[in-house]
Amino acid sequence: MINIQLSERQERIIDIVKASQPITSEEIGKKLNLTRATIRPDLAILTMSGILDARPKVGYFYSGREAFSFFLEQIKTLTVSDIKSVPVVVDEQTTMYNAIVTLFLEDVGSIYVASEGILTGVLSRKDFLKNAIGGMDLNKIPVGVIMTRMPNIITISPKESVLDAATKIMEHQIDSLPVVEEVNINGKDGYKILGRISKTNIIRVFVDLCNNC
Ligand code: ADP
């Protein structure tokens, strides 16, 4: 980001451009009661430092606005497949104890469960905590007993937008979504797990885009 000392006049030019963009150098000069030649060096500094954008025959724009539309554009066009991460998948017979160890080793907040390649369940931190404080024998109980099961799982397809993913996460108050595609395995319809999209993925996009603006 730019970190230069601006003169009072340059600050006033920025305010004028923000209020009336696109605006020509002549019009800016008029508002300041100065000639075009007088403010030319100021405009040169402001465009070279990236604060203003100059378009031939159109005028000056405040680039902060450009940056914001770039941000919005990217948020709308980025797809789930652009940002998904690798899912952690176990089978229904995995014990709660082993699944909790997996949660720590893989450093994730939720685990997916699949049977013969098809999504059957989701396990979150609270599912483990709830059942652990209920006194279940972690070494005996398989995750199939405690998981949230299909058809109650909220999923997303790789082609959907990051905004769609964020909306589903917000609406259903969950931390992650399995990224899936519809398949038919041995005559059974279901979802194959392709990835995982979590609040962390979405926050990372937000930070990356802001840093690139
Ligand atoms: P945490 O347990 O850390 O609050 P979540 O908010 O993701 O994490 O999980 C809350 C509940 O929602 C859990 O019972 C979990 O099994 C369930 N859950 C998590 N992800 C999904 C999903 N994609 N679809 C349906 N239910 C889910």
For residue range 55-69, list pLDDT tens digits in order: 988 999 998 766 666
Which of 186, 140, 181 is closest to 158 using CA atoms? 181
Ligand 1 pocket, 193 CB below 6 A? no
> Euclidean distance between the first and final Cα of the chain, in Å?
9
Looking at residue 74, what is its pLDDT?
A: 79
Rounded Cα distance, 48 and 125, in Å? 50
What's the gap in Å between 74 CA and the centre of ligand 1? 28
Which atom number of ligand 1 is nearest to the Cα of residue 178?
23
pLDDT at 159 over 70: yes
CA 146 to chain centre: 30
**In this predicted model, what pLDDT tens digit does every residue of 28-50 receive, in sequence order?**
999 999 999 999 999 998 888 77
Q: Which atom of ligand 1 is nearest to the CA of 124?
A: 2
Give the type of residue at 168: K
Ligand 1 geometric centre to CA of 205 (Å): 22
Task: Average the pLDDT over each of 71-75, 81-85, 98-102 and give the range with the smallest value.
Answer: 71-75
Give the confidence band of 19 by pLDDT, cuts at 50, 70, 90.
very high
- Interhelix angle 125-133/96-106, rounded to 10 degrees, is 140
The 3-class SS string of 3-48 reads CCCCCHHHHHHHHHHHHHCCECHHHHHHHHCCCHHHHHHHHHHHHH
